[in-house]
Amino acid sequence: MEAVGLDDINLMWIILPFFIAGILYVRIVKHKTGNALRDSVKTLQTMLVMIGVVLAVLLFTLPSTPSLSTFGYPDTVADIDSQEKVLKLLQEYNHAIVRITDALRWMVFIFIFWGIMTVYQLLKVYRGVLDERIIANKNEINN
């Protein structure tokens, strides 16, 4: 059913190496320039690339679903005249739905863990930079 042949492999084993590689890359390859805001923006860029790679991998794990489109619908009762045909059709539908649900669950997890947390860190650094500017402005006014 799948073009790449990842049909029966648990998505955790497919995504886990990319996930670990992304975390290690960000932790090992620090982009320290001395400017915390620029470093956070660079980390955000790196994480967005990693999210794109993982989502591309998830895209290839999705089943091709001709069985769910009009191409695969049974047209007549003769197409499902035996219990074996009905069982096979239901198994194909069930497998496609389970795989798509699993991929969606991973996508949501990746967006929460990588995407939102990285944006949160960037905003935290940006808030710190703004606080420093506000304090500097107040000190200039008081002097």
Summarised one tens digit per residue, pLDDT across range 19-33 is: 788 778 777 766 666
Distance of alpha carbon 96 from the chain centroid: 19
**pLDDT tens, position by position, 97-140:** 888 888 888 888 888 887 888 888 888 888 888 888 888 888 88
Two tokens at 50?
């990693």
pLDDT tens for each residue of 40-51: 888 888 888 888
pLDDT over threshold 60, residue 85: yes
Residue type, 18: F
Nearest partner of 107 among 5, 9, 14, 4, judged by Cα: 14
pTM: 0.63
For residue 65, what pLDDT band results from cuts at 50, 70 and 90? Answer: low
Q: How far apart are CA 87 and CA 47, in angstroms?
A: 43
